[in-house]
Homo-oligomer: A and B are copies of this chain.
């Protein structure tokens, strides 16, 4: 099984006057890939960010606690970028998800992570990550690296 991925086309909105991708966009692509990975697992966010699954909206959400990115190679307008959801470090109340961006020649453009904290949106505090999410994120670690 291969890593989950999505492809983005770099638009003018993603670039800046240096000719490169404006740097915060990398972590945006990471998060967009995670959203699609969850969608493939029948989990979506509702309009205020709560998790919607099994036909109903929960009071829970994933909020971003931390993120990081290392840019390996500049990217430019009109290039296609493939964002891979690479692996997950499952913790008690959060999950650290690792990402990798590649161009069409399979060169690594950037690597990084986002830590998603599982929260109760009413109480506004972190809660233990339920089994269903542990199972879903574990599937990421069973993927063979895309070689």
Contact = CB atoms under 8 A, between A and B. Distances in A.
A23 B16 contact: no
A31 B18 CA distance: 15
A24 B76 CA distance: 19
Copies of this chain: 4
A67 B32 contact: no
Contacts of A22: 12-13
Contact of A47 (B13, B17, B68): B17
B13 A49 contact: no
A27 B70 CA distance: 13
A11 B76 CA distance: 18
Interface of A: 11-13, 15-20, 22-25, 27-28, 31-32, 35, 44-49, 61, 63-71, 74, 76-78
Contacts of A20: 17, 63
Given A17-B77, A22-B12, A24-B25, A66 B69 contact: yes
A46 B10 CA distance: 12
Given A12-B18, A12-B22, A24-B28, 15 more contacts: A12-B17, A12-B31, A12-B49, A13-B22, A17-B17, A17-B47, A17-B49, A23-B27, A24-B24, A47-B76, A49-B77, A65-B70, A66-B68, A66-B69, A68-B68
A32 B11 contact: yes
